[in-house]
């Protein structure tokens, strides 16, 4: 197996991610699975950031506030995005 | 010619293309055209509108996609309203350009608004947000738009959703027109 030269660490440090996974009761995780998980976090974060950028523009602000995050997350929870699955 | 105003990001586009692969590879289908909210800049639309241009009988059903089949002759003989929509906002997945760009037209949205009913401080805020202040660009230029006159600006199609939401949020009276510019 080729050694991974760098970690993504986009959203959460790999070390912390491993701790989180182990706390949840998963004893071992493959490197590929960990990479995939990191990629998934990154994609989700990208979408969330785009939605938040739009939300603050619509509200005429430059500062991201707690209520923007609540608004976007409630909007995401309401939606049933079936085409991405 | 690649479109200068690709309405969707590359990853979403490749995801959509992957789902529609069988239609994109079918030589009997002249074009696969995206339209609706995804083209107008909605980040996570509930469903994706697609038109297949073909004379072949196709029963298309993909989860999350709303697929309409259009015969070629429908573009010339009593065209249904979807033909106007495709000309206005259709994005050809086979050619990777807006459908109207095939005919050397550019799709734009024209906004005309008035601030009469608003109080002065809100008026100033809205003008600053739309036009910008000092060296900073406002919402219009930041999103690829252009001012034509006072309270009149045009936007690329991908920014339609954003600007409309902004105007509705601030309860501004506005009118919107779709343009095909040559």
pTM, to two decimals:
0.80
Beta-bridge partners for B51: B33, B68
Q: Give residue B13's pLDDT.
A: 83
Cβ B91 vs Cβ B33: under 8 Å: yes
For an interface test with B, the pick among A39, A46, A57, A68 (most B C-beta atoms closer than 10 Å) comes out as: A57
Instruction: At B101, list the tokens.
Output: 């760009």
Contact A51 B44 (CB under 8 A): yes
Q: Give residue A20's pLDDT.
A: 86
Q: Which residues of B touch A85 (CB under 8 A)?
A: 63-64
CA distance A11 to A40: 10
Q: What is the mean pLDDT of residues B25-52?
A: 87
A79 closest CB neighbour out of B44, B48, B129: B44
Query: Phi and psi of B31, rounded to 5°?
Result: -155, 155
Q: Give residue A83's pLDDT.
A: 54
Residue B34 burial (C-beta neighbours within 10 Å; 0-12, 13-18, 19+): buried
Instruction: Give the CA count within 13 Å in the CB-facing half-sphere of A68.
Output: 18
**Total length of chain B:** 182
The reply to whether B18 touches chain A by the CB within 8 Å rule is no
Looking at the complex, report in whole angstroms how far the Cα of residue B46 sits from the nearest Cα belonging to chain A: 5
For an interface test with B, the pick among A83, A84, A85 (most B C-beta atoms closer than 10 Å) comes out as: A83
Q: pLDDT for B100-132, tens place per residue?
A: 988 899 999 999 999 988 899 999 999 999 999
Model ipTM? 0.74
Instruction: At B167, list the tokens.
Output: 């105007």
Contact A60 B43 (CB under 8 A): no
Instruction: At B174, list the tokens.
Output: 């506005």
Q: pLDDT for B160-181, tens place per residue?
A: 989 999 999 999 999 999 999 8
Sign of CA dihedral B176, B158, B106, B16: negative
B43 closest CB neighbour out of A51, A57, A58: A51
The strand order across the sheet containing B65-70 reads B65-70, B48-54, B29-35, B91-92, B97-98
CA distance B138 to B145: 10
Pairing status of strand B152-156 against strand B146-149: antiparallel
Query: Phi and psi of B27, rounded to 5°?
Result: -75, -20
Contact B46 A81 (CB under 8 A): yes
Contact B166 A57 (CB under 8 A): yes
CATH of domain A14-79: 1.10.20.10
Q: Which three-class secondary structure state does DSSP give residue B70?
A: strand
Instruction: At B41, list the tokens.
Output: 């800049």
Buried-exposed string B10-23: b where 16+ CB fall within 10 A, e elsewhere: eebbeebeebbeeb
Cβ neighbours for A78, distance < 8 A, ≥ 6 positions apart: none
Q: How does DSSP classify residue B173?
A: E
Residue A40 burial (C-beta neighbours within 10 Å; 0-12, 13-18, 19+): exposed
- In chain B, the percentage of residues whose pLDDT exceeds 70 is 96
> What are the extents of the domains in chain A?
14-79
Instruction: At B170, list the tokens.
Output: 């601030």
Cβ A40 vs Cβ A47: under 8 Å: no
Contact A79 B19 (CB under 8 A): no
Measured from the Cβ of residue B58, the count of other Cβ atoms closer than 10 Å reads 15
Q: pLDDT for A36-84, tens place per residue?
A: 888 888 888 888 898 999 999 999 998 999 999 998 888 888 766 555 5
Contact A58 B169 (CB under 8 A): yes
Instruction: At B5, list the tokens.
Output: 């105003």
Q: Give residue A9's pLDDT.
A: 63
Looking at the complex, report in whole angstroms how far the Cα of residue A75 sits from the nearest Cα belonging to chain B: 10
- Name the A residues in 3-42 with CB < 8 Å from any B CB: none
Contact A50 B129 (CB under 8 A): no
A80 closest CB neighbour out of B19, B46, B162: B46
B43 closest CB neighbour out of A50, A57, A85: A50
């Amino acid at each position: 197996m080729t050694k991974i030269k760098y970690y993504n660490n986009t959203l959460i440090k790999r070390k912390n991610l491993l701790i989180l996974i182990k706390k949840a009761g998963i004893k071992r995780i493959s490197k590929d699975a960990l990479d995939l998980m990191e990629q998934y976090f990154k994609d989700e974060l990208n979408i969330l950031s785009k939605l938040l950028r739009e939300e603050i523009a619509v509200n005429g602000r430059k500062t991201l506030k707690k209520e923007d995050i609540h608004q976007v997350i409630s909007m995401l929870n309401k939606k049933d995005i079936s085409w991405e699955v | 010619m690649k479109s200068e105003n690709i309405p969707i990001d590359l990853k979403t586009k490749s995801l959509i293309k992957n789902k529609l692969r069988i239609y994109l590879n079918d030589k009997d289908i002249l074009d696969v055209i995206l339209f609706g909210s995804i083209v107008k800049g909605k980040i996570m639309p509930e469903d994706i509108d697609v038109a297949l241009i073909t004379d072949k009988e196709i029963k298309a059903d993909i989860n999350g996609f709303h697929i309409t089949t259009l015969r070629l002759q429908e573009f010339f003989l009593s065209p249904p309203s979807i033909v106007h929509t495709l000309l206005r906002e259709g994005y050809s997945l086979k050619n990777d350009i807006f459908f109207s760009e095939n005919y050397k037209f550019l799709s734009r949205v024209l906004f005309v608004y008035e601030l009469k009913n608003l109080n002065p401080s809100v008026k100033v805020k809205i003008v600053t947000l739309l036009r910008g202040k000092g060296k900073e660009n406002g919402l219009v230029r930041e999103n690829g738009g252009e001012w034509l006159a006072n309270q009149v600006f045009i936007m690329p199609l991908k920014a339609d959703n954003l600007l409309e939401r902004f105007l509705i949020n601030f309860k501004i009276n506005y009118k919107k027109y779709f343009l095909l510019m040559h």
